Amino acid sequence: MSTLGQLVISGILIGGIYALMSIGLTLIFGVLRIVNFAHGEFLMVAMYGAWAITRLLGLNPYVAAVAIVPAMFLFGAIVYRMIINPALDKPHLVVVFATMALSIFMQNVALMMMTADLMDVPPIFGRSITIGPIYIKVELLLGFIITILCTVALQWMIKTTYLGKAIRATVQDGEAAMLMGIPVPRIFLITFAGGSALVGLAACVMMPLFSVFPTVGLNFVLIAFVIVVLGGMGSIEGALLGGICVGVVQSLSSYYVAPAFGQMFFFVLFLFVMIFRPNGLLGQKGAATIGMNE
Amino acid sequence: MLVTGAVSTKKPMRVPILPERGRLSWFELVLLLVCIGLVVASIPSSLRDVILLSFLFGGLALAWNIAGGYAGLISFGHAAFFGVGGYTSTILLVHYDITPWIGIWFGGTIAGVFGAALALICARLRGPFFILSTLAFAEVVRIGALNWSSLTGGPEGLSIMPTPGLASMVFASKATYAWLMLGYLVVVYAITKALEASRFGYYLFAIRDNEDAASAAGVNPLLGRTLAMALSAALTGVGGSLFAQYFLYLDPTYVISPELSFQFALLPAVGGLGTAIGPVLGSFLITPLSELLRSYFGNSAAGLHLVIYSLGLVVVMLYFPSGLAGALAKLARWRPFS
């Protein structure tokens, strides 16, 4: 019983962290209606950044976020200007191939610069918290708390601020928003860069828990897509819900099912969700069946 | 192979200079003659490697294009079919002593079944989700091949005995392999051309361009997509078998890698999606380039050729989305003296 409890708690906490990584993706999809295939590679680059700051400056990865988050915002803005924006008015295949190529590019530049070795940072907290029979890793708990804070802050931003309202208006009807004087291209830029910054934050939270290597993005991008589909496209609370589901399923299956399956887990989970619940947990219309540019 | 179909009833028979949909042109015939010339000419063996790989990858790019270009099923998982084809014929040869001349048909068939299965799994998916499902599917096949050691040899891979012979489809001379690969390229090209002019081909264009309208007009989109994917996968599987017969070694981390899948999609994208000549031109441009980079930089810069590919692809996609075939079509419309 306590094993089960342990697995479920760890699953929920890790799921929260997965959710943080997916929020950027769901935000970009919700607003721009494009999918950034290089999302996982953005995470990879940010993780290398956090790793470098931790190793070279001796800071801890949470402090590194102060530098990584703005850096990723800038990186996102540059990618948007150079690749996404020119591709927006072209056939949808252009965005697909361009971001796919960007992801291959980033993977191989990382491979050339950092080699294929796994990099990690030394543990930050020596011991776990114990509640009754259950052990909780402090890094996990901290990551979960950061996710919750981030979700709440983002919700508040979208509900109340001018920028948030402008984003919602753009989602509802881009043309009408433009006529009302909302600078839609700038909203796109801010959303894309903001989504990238969130990935930067996720990378700093994940660095103490996972190793980084050039193709680390592929596993995580698939989880992110599963979460986004399960929770409903463009929904931030949905991402949290989806993340927790994925975390718990992963935690339980890695314990109860054969370890060879562990490598396959993300891919099988992805296909499984795509076959059986392409409309998400709550059955929102057309999450996975949606076209690329409408 | 002059399939002119409905067009010929309106226009007088003539062979166009530059490629057109569903018809053979002088350009293609001359290109074929050049290819034959390259096989026959006495050239250094390292160069012959490049040539026969360009043929093989040209065929593979055409096979990918049937799904990706004609039916709009963009797949980043074709390496799975390549691997399944290669493993099937190799396992039949190594474990059961069945000649690859028969094994190739089994390889193609089983890869085709995998392709149909993928299309059915993804029946309800479009756009990015379809693409990611193909990627995930290929990863499942790769990890499966790695772990099913009794059949596939696992991470150590499978080797084919290098004893030359017609029955074992292992040849001492690279020229023979070059003929084999050129034969594959020509067969896949002929199938593509026939498809372009056929009723089924038009169904695929209709499904790709407007699925609702196609289905309202009585075309079954699911059937079309499934058959297109199965055909594309089967031809890719045959390519995988030929690859195995040439390299005499298969290992899941290469033959079912996402990099290889990316390469299959890249060649038609650079050459021109949804055209027959595009993937061939793409392969003839990029395969030699990649071999050159590999031999020039060796292993000191792993991944460099992919860095250059992907940069090139971004530029092609943003500025020349119709690829090399698009440039050729522009040339066809160019009338300098009128």
Domain extent, residue B118, equals 50-333
CATH code of the domain containing B201: 1.10.3470
For residues B115 and A145, give the distance between their C-alpha atoms in angstroms, rounded to a whole number.
44
**What values do phi and psi take at B161, rounded to 5?**
-60, 125
Å from B48 to nearest chain A CA? 28
Size of interface A-B (CB pairs under 8 A): 129
Query: Does residue A44 lie within any of the structural domains?
Result: yes
| Whether the Cβ atoms of residue B228 and residue B115 lie closer than 8 Å to each other | no
Query: Does residue B61 lie within any of the structural domains?
Result: yes
Count of structural domains, chain A: 1
Query: Does residue A52 lie within any of the structural domains?
Result: yes
- Interface residue A88 vs chain B (CB under 8 A): no
Å from B154 to nearest chain A CA? 13
Task: Write out pLDDT tens, residues A60-96.
Answer: 888 888 899 999 999 999 999 999 988 888 877 788 8
For residues A215 and B262, give the distance between their C-alpha atoms in angstroms, rounded to a whole number.
14
Q: Identify all chain A residues contacting B121, using CB atoms and an 8 Å cutoff.
A: 271, 274-275
Domain extent, residue A30, equals 2-276
Task: Write out pLDDT tens, residues B27-49.
Answer: 888 888 888 888 888 777 778 88
Query: Does residue A287 lie within any of the structural domains?
Result: no
Count of structural domains, chain B: 1
Torsion angle, alpha carbons of B175, B177, B180, B186, to 10:
-70
Q: What is the mean pLDDT of each run of 10 residues along chain A (294 residues)?
A: 83 90 87 86 93 87 89 95 87 83 89 83 76 80 90 89 88 84 90 94 90 85 82 80 87 75 75 78 51 35
Query: Does residue B45 lie within any of the structural domains?
Result: no
Query: Does residue B131 lie within any of the structural domains?
Result: yes
Query: Does residue A288 lie within any of the structural domains?
Result: no
Direct distance between the N- and C-terminal alpha carbons of chain A, in angstroms, rounded to an integer: 48
Element (H, E) at B225: helix B221-247
Specify the pLDDT at position A290: 43
**What values do phi and psi take at A235, rounded to 5?**
-100, 125
Query: Does residue B39 lie within any of the structural domains?
Result: no
Query: Does residue A127 lie within any of the structural domains?
Result: yes
Specify the pLDDT at position B338: 60
| Whether the Cβ atoms of residue B57 and residue B263 lie closer than 8 Å to each other | yes
- Interface residue A262 vs chain B (CB under 8 A): no
Pairwise CB contact (< 8 Å): A292 & B74: no
Q: Identify all chain B residues contacting A111, using CB atoms and an 8 Å cutoff.
A: 302-303
CATH code of the domain containing A188: 1.10.3470
Pairwise CB contact (< 8 Å): B310 & A104: yes
When the pLDDT of each residue in chain B is averaged and rounded to a whole number, the result is: 84
Pairwise CB contact (< 8 Å): A267 & B307: no
- Provide the CB-side half-sphere exposure for A93 (13 A, CA): 23
Query: Does residue A292 lie within any of the structural domains?
Result: no
Nearest CA in chain B to A224: B132
For residues A265 and A259, give the distance between their C-alpha atoms in angstroms, rounded to a whole number.
10
Q: Identify all chain A residues contacting B304, using CB atoms and an 8 Å cutoff.
A: 108, 112
Query: Does residue A262 lie within any of the structural domains?
Result: yes
For CA atoms A150, A155, A156, A157, the dihedral sign is: positive
Mean pLDDT (whole number) for B154-163: 80
Surface-to-core class of residue A193, CB atoms within 10 Å of its CB (0-12 exposed, 13-18 middle, 19+ buried): buried
Query: Does residue A253 lie within any of the structural domains?
Result: yes
For residues B61 and B232, give the distance between their C-alpha atoms in angstroms, rounded to a whole number.
10
The predicted complex's ipTM stands at 0.77
